[in-house]
Amino acid sequence: QSVLTQPPSASGTPGQRVTISCSGSSSNIGRNTVNWYQQLPGTAPQLLMYSNIQRPSGVPDRFSGSKSGTSASLAISGLQSEDEADYYCATWDDSLNGVVFGGGTKLTVL
Amino acid sequence: QLQLQESGPGLVKPSEPLSLTCTVSGGSISSSSYYWGWIRQPPGKGLEWIGVIYYGGSAYYNPSLKSRVTISVDTSKKHFSLTLNSVTAADTAVYYCARPAPSGGTAAFDIWGQGTMVTVSS
C-alpha cells in the first residue's frame, strides 16, 4: 500500500489529453512539492516534472503538472505512442521523514 | 556530465547482507548541494525509496527498512554504498542509485544509475 495514491492505469488515443492523479495527505503533498517520473519499459525512471510544475531540460511542454491541497496531477497533451510508460509521483513526507512514491500508473496509448 | 553506476553481487543468500556500491563519475561527490540516494523496484512492482545520505554523512532512511539499512559515502573513492542486512526474498529487486536535483528537493532524483538486479535465493 503506497502512501501516495495513483490510479493503476490510464489510457488515451494519439493526440488526446490525459491526466494522472496523485493523492496524498497534509504530511506529504500538503506541505511539499511533487515530482513526477516516467519509466519506459526496461529502463531507469526519468525525472519528468519537479517542484510541482517545473520541467527538466529536454522534457516537451506537452507535459504539465499541477498541485492543489493534498493532490497533484500530471497532464499529457497531444498524446504520442512514445508516451506509453509507467508514471510515478513522489514527494517528501514530514511525518515519515522520507521520500514517498505513488504506486505508479501504467499509461497505454491505444 | 555526472553519471552513476551501480555494482555488486547479483545473487545474495537469505539472511546474508546485500552490499552495493554506486560510483560517481563526471562530477564531484562532495559538493555541499548534494545528497545521494538508493531506490529499489521489485520485479513488476513500483518504486520504493530506501534512503539518502548527505556527502557530510547525515542520512535518512525508509522507516520500514531503517533497522536493516546503512548508506555510507566515501569521498576519496568517489562512491557511496548501500548495505541491507538479513535479506529475504522480499528484498529481490532492481536497485538504483540516484541523485536528488539540487534545485528540486530531496524527492526529485534527476540523475539515475542504470540499475542492478539483485536476487535473494539460496
Condensed to tens digits (0 to 9), the pLDDT of residues A32-79 reads 999 999 999 999 999 999 999 999 999 999 999 999 999 999 999 999
Q: What is the mean pLDDT of residues B35-59?
A: 93
| A91 touches A100 (CB < 8 A) | yes
Determine the distance in angstroms separating the CA of A91 from the nearest CA of chain B, rounded to an integer: 5
The reported pLDDT for the residue numbered B58 is 87
Instruction: Judge whether B113 is closer than 8 Å to chain A, CB to CB.
Output: yes
Chain A residue numbers with beta carbons less than 8 Å from the beta carbon of B101 are 47, 50, 56
Q: How confident is the model at residue B32 (pLDDT cuts 50, 70, 90)?
A: low
Chain B residue numbers with beta carbons less than 8 Å from the beta carbon of A104 are 46-47
Alpha-carbon distance B69 to B18, whole Å?
A: 10
The reported pLDDT for the residue numbered A45 is 98
C-alpha cell at B24: 560517481
Quick check: B56 pLDDT over 90? no
Instruction: Judge whether B102 is closer than 8 Å to chain A, CB to CB.
Output: no
Determine the distance in angstroms separating the CA of A52 from the nearest CA of chain B, rounded to an integer: 10
Quick check: B117 pLDDT over 80? yes
- Residues A13-36: pLDDT tens digits? 999 999 999 999 999 999 999 999
Q: How far from chain centre, in Å, is Cα A83?
A: 13
- Cross-strand partners of A37: A47, A88
The 10 Å Cβ neighbour count of residue B54 is: 15
Q: What is the mean pLDDT of residues B61-85?
A: 93
Q: How confident is the model at residue B33 (pLDDT cuts 50, 70, 90)?
A: low
Return the amino acid letter for A7. Answer: P
Of the candidates B96, B104, B114, which has its C-beta nearest A35's C-beta?
B104
Quick check: B55 pLDDT over 80? no
Among the ranges given (A13-22, A94-103, B75-84, B91-100), the one the predictor scored with the smallest mean pLDDT: B75-84
| A97–B63 CB contact, under 8 Å | yes
DSSP reduced 3-state for A35: strand
Alpha-carbon distance A49 to A30, whole Å?
A: 17
Tell which residue, B28, B3, B32, has the closest CA to residue B102: B32
**Mutant choice from B49, B62, B95 vs A, greatest count of A C-beta within 10 A:** B49
Average pLDDT taken over every residue of chain B: 93
- Cross-strand partners of B6: B22
The reported pLDDT for the residue numbered A32 is 96
- The pLDDT > 70 percentage for chain B reads 98
The reported pLDDT for the residue numbered A71 is 98
Quick check: B57 pLDDT over 90? no
Per-residue CA distances from A22 to A18, A56, A66, A102 (Å): 14, 20, 10, 7
The reported pLDDT for the residue numbered A47 is 97
- Cross-strand partners of A11: A108
Per-residue CA distances from B13 to A48, B81, B96, B122 (Å): 36, 19, 20, 5
Q: How confident is the model at residue B19 (pLDDT cuts 50, 70, 90)?
A: very high
State the first-to-last Cα distance of chain A, in angstroms, to the nearest integer.
Answer: 28
Instruction: Judge whether B31 is closer than 8 Å to chain A, CB to CB.
Output: no
Quick check: B100 pLDDT over 70? yes
Tell which residue, A100, A97, A85, A108, has the closest CA to residue A38: A85
